[in-house]
Amino acid sequence: MFKCSIIVVTILNFLVLVTCGPAEQYRGHQVVEMIAKDVATANLLRAYVDNHNKDMDVWTLTPTACQVSVVGEQVDPLQKFCEENNIDFKVMIEDLEVAITEHMKRDAPTAIRSLTRSAETDEWFSRPQQEQKPFNYEEYNRFDDIAKELYRLQCAYPDIVDVTQIGLSHEKRPLLLVRITQNVLGCSSKKKPVIWIDGGTHAREWISVATPMWILRELVTKFGKDDDVTNLLMENEIMLSPVFNPDGYEYTFTGARLWRKTRTPTKKTDCLGIDANRNWDTEQFGGAGTSDDPCSPIYPGEFPEQDPAVRGFAQVLRYIRPRLKTYWTMHSFSQFLLTPNSYKREKPPTFRIFGGPAFVFVTTIISKSNRVYGTGNAIDFQNNLLTGLSLDYVHDALQIPYSYLLELPPSRQSPFGFALQKTEIDSVSKEVFCSMLAALNRIDEDIAARQQAATTVPPTTTIQTTFTTTKTTNLTTTPATLPSVKISTTTLQTEKPNEENSTTAASLQKTPESKLFSTPQRENSGSLENTTTNNSGDNYRTSRRR
């Protein structure tokens, strides 16, 4: 049986006034579930959602389940459509406003502090609005509190933490990037491979902000105490941005809890925001999985990198491309590890490279928790194509095969997936971090295997064959070996990796990595300090040098 749960919210109600609360915008909205009984009705349901995307906010859309959100008066036409096409229909949440209000009371932070920008110095400083409390990593925190905590960590751990402002958002909030590595300000750190982690691209996905912050704390507090963390930071540089979209994220606390986009103006004056994960310069930009309506939650913008946050972080990624080893961007919800490519049905040739670590990640997380994750491209994820995604930009334009989008819990069956309780932050982050360490270990092993296959002269076997001409010919054969997998950071032990996802040294030796990409490599953008700017012209700079 094909299951499709749908939650429908009018797009016009996303155009909210700042004076309104985060729950008031959803007064009269309902959550409904629709279940398609076979492939034919599932296709009808998908077509209905596609044809009404201007009136719906799609939460999840998969081959067997979809979630979208509808204002009260639109429920009856939707129910009538289901009855006419023999699709089961069920109301799951009678009043979305009430559900959001309860969620905010339970999970929203109590202490609020703000960062105020000085027009004279263009600097940010903390101004308490009430008694300041220690930062709580097991709580959903406001952007200003997060920024303050990042600078506190820089002061507390100066040898391994450096906070950099790469630009400003449209509403003049700092776009912050944290560098974590041993001897972070030393010259040697500029030569280390880079592991990229970001979250908060979509504003309403609070767990995608809390998890990178939890990982950051784990890295800085366990360096020198935990072997896995210590080795990771000695050999790599972590670049972490917990709040990719600060304007939209802050707006979910003050304006509309289910706001998805940035707050950048569009060609339609009464519709703000660009989908920050549809605004990347990928093949078929503005195609599948987007809408040309600026009021839509999936509006990609008029051109790639129109949004200052996307443009700023894309410039950083282009600059560090020679050192970039792997890219991880966190979203929610669905419990799925998305891999390239999202804009076409076929998996790219580099699947033989990135498939192995993806398999290790999902098997490790399953062994560590009761949560089941899937992995694959957009067709595997939701039987639908997507364009303008960051993981495809990093994979295609920057030619980094280890590019992943992680959809965090809860599962797609949850009726209110964006309201994951804050009590789940610790367990979700812990299992994700452990699984990422296992995947990173696999990435290192695969890279080492490819390097060895490319540089080592293989052993030869000489066979004496005598022909009628009495000449002797030497025939050389090269045995293909399969590298073993050992995950030191988890109890999961894999002696033989999945053949479909694994990469043998022989196959990689025959196909150079550079030839596995179908798109030409883009030129490096030059010096980051000279080129990475936002609309305000602020250069990328390290805050410690200001």
pLDDT in tens, 313-352: 999 999 999 999 999 999 999 899 999 999 999 999 999 9
Residue 345 to residue 116: CA distance in whole angstroms: 47
Residue 29 to residue 424: CA distance in whole angstroms: 26
Domain covering 143-451, topology: Aminopeptidase (3.40.630)
Confidence of residue 52 (pLDDT cuts 50, 70, 90): confident
Which residue, among 314, 189, 299, has the nearest Cα to 244 in the 3D structure? 314
Better-predicted residue by pLDDT, 82 or 315: 315
Comparing 162-171, 353-362, 514-523, the range with the smallest average pLDDT is: 514-523
Residue 226 to residue 236: CA distance in whole angstroms: 15
User: Which stretches does DSSP call E strand in 222-298?
Assistant: 237-241
Give percent of the chain with pLDDT exceeding 70: 75
Residue 263 backbone dihedrals phi, psi, to 5 degrees: -120, 25
> What was the pLDDT predicted at 491?
39
* Mean of pLDDT over the chain: 80
Residue 172 to residue 175: CA distance in whole angstroms: 9
Residue 229 to residue 489: CA distance in whole angstroms: 10
Better-predicted residue by pLDDT, 414 or 406: 406
Confidence of residue 65 (pLDDT cuts 50, 70, 90): low
User: Which stretches does DSSP call E strand in 425-520?
Assistant: 464-466, 472-474
Q: What pairing do the DSSP bridges indicate for beta strands 403-411 and 324-334?
A: parallel
Residue 407 bears catalytic tag: yes
> What was the pLDDT predicted at 60?
75
Better-predicted residue by pLDDT, 46 or 535: 46
Better-predicted residue by pLDDT, 514 or 209: 209
Comparing 311-320, 408-417, 493-502, the range with the smallest average pLDDT is: 493-502
From residue 150, how far is each of 143, 195, 324, 418 by CA, in Å? 11, 18, 23, 25
> What was the pLDDT predicted at 17?
35
Confidence of residue 515 (pLDDT cuts 50, 70, 90): low
Residue 497: pLDDT over 50: no
Three-state SS string across 484-499, please?
CCCCCCCCCCCCCCCC
Of 72-81, 207-216, 457-466, 524-533, where does the model show the most confidence? 207-216
Does domain 30-107 fall under CATH 3.30.70.340? My reply is yes
Residue 359 near residue 501 (C-beta atoms within 8 A): yes
Residue 148: pLDDT over 60: yes
Comparing 93-107, 182-196, 220-234, 491-505, the range with the smallest average pLDDT is: 491-505
Residue 242 to residue 238: CA distance in whole angstroms: 12
Residue 19: pLDDT over 80: no
In the chain, list all ranges with CATH 3.40.630.10: 143-451
Better-predicted residue by pLDDT, 64 or 425: 425
Could you read off the pLDDT of 421-473 as tens digits, one per residue? 999 999 999 999 999 999 999 999 999 999 888 887 666 655 444 444 434 44
From residue 398, how far is each of 240, 241, 277, 332, 393 by CA, in Å? 18, 19, 17, 25, 7
Better-predicted residue by pLDDT, 3 or 341: 341
In the chain, list all ranges with CATH 3.30.70.340: 30-107
Residue 111 near residue 62 (C-beta atoms within 8 A): no
Residue 495: pLDDT over 70: no
Could you read off the pLDDT of 339-388 as tens digits, one per residue? 999 999 999 999 999 999 999 999 999 998 889 999 999 888 887 889 99
Element (H, E) at 128: strand 124-128
Give percent of the chain with pLDDT exceeding 90: 52
> What was the pLDDT predicted at 96?
84
Confidence of residue 502 (pLDDT cuts 50, 70, 90): very low
pTM over 0.85: no
Provide mean pLDDT across the span 23-50: 81
> What was the pLDDT predicted at 138?
94
Could you read off the pLDDT of 531-546 as tens digits, one per residue? 444 444 344 444 454 4
Residue 388 to residue 287: CA distance in whole angstroms: 8
> What was the pLDDT predicted at 538?
42
> What was the pLDDT predicted at 545?
45
- Which of 407, 500, 523, 529 does the annotation list as catalytic? 407
Residue 7: pLDDT over 90: no
Provide mean pLDDT across the span 112-122: 45
Residue 160: pLDDT over 70: yes
